[in-house]
Amino acid sequence: MEATAPCKVTYGFGDQYINYAERLEDGSYDSDYSKRIPFDVYRHTFYTYDENHEIQFGDTVDTVTNDSPMNAGAENNYVTLGEGVYIVSNYHPSLRGAGGQCFSDYNVILTVKSKDTITAVPTASNVLVDNRATAFEAYNISGNNYFKLRDLAMALNGTDKQFEVTWNASEQAILLLSQKAYTAVGGEMQINASPVEQNAVHSAATIFLDGNAVSFTAYTIGGYTYFKLRDIAKLLNIGVNWDPTSGTIGIQTTATYTE
């Protein structure tokens, strides 16, 4: 089975698993348990037992999590998959305990392919934030530099142009709040010592700034969403300049944005 990224998989009835697939020497696939795929939304039902020890179901709750493993998926849990090969397994409750039956008997190989793939080249330019050298893992696409939002938010935290970044899973939207301190989630400003060219895929991410929808050209690169520096600078009125002599990008939080 094939699909185009981003591919949203919604769980049906029964115990279900999604794992990355590892190609074996004979050309078949097996689950790669060294990697975990988190739910976008993990729906689970609270229940209690009555005096007859029968289950009494309660409220169903949506939990946004990056930690829940993809197992025993309750109905309507979902996950958005990027480019890759996956194993989708299903085990209907009616087969539970049946001799010889297991998840591997119901595996489907799902190949998710990228759409409109573009080459992203690691940015070789130096970057100064308020005249301070700052290392970013950024990429150049068609002559424009693209940065991760959370990296920029971390670098600008504590300045007049700071902004908060949050994720609304139910709306599949990125929320930006101007003039708010940034809350780190871990992984910001991580730099690959030997960055290489990567495939970039147009991102369908929806973005809101202070409650108002904004539209950007964004790309997914290596599992992260990257945005054009000048788009973010214009949105938040941040000064950006380019010094061709030294090959340096300047980000000035005390200056206003100019074309």
Q: What is the pLDDT of residues 231-252, one digit of tens each?
A: 999 999 999 999 999 999 999 9
The H or E element that residue 243 is part of is strand 239-243
Rounded CA separation 85/82 (Å)? 9
Reference 80, options 205, 213, 231; nearest CA is: 205
Q: What is the pLDDT of residue 232?
A: 96
Give the global pTM.
Answer: 0.57
Rounded CA separation 88/110 (Å)? 7
Which residue is it, tokens 């940015």? 123
Low-confidence ranges of the chain (pLDDT < 50): 66-72, 93-104
The CA–CA distances, whole Å, from 37 to 66, 68, 84, 87, 136 equal 8, 8, 12, 11, 26
User: Is the preceding peptide bond at 6 cis, omega within 30 degrees of 0?
Assistant: yes
Residue type for 192, please?
N
Q: What is the pLDDT of residue 62?
A: 53
Reference 188, options 137, 250, 239; nearest CA is: 137
Q: What is the pLDDT of residue 150?
A: 95
Q: What is the pLDDT of residue 93?
A: 47
Rounded CA separation 70/17 (Å)? 5
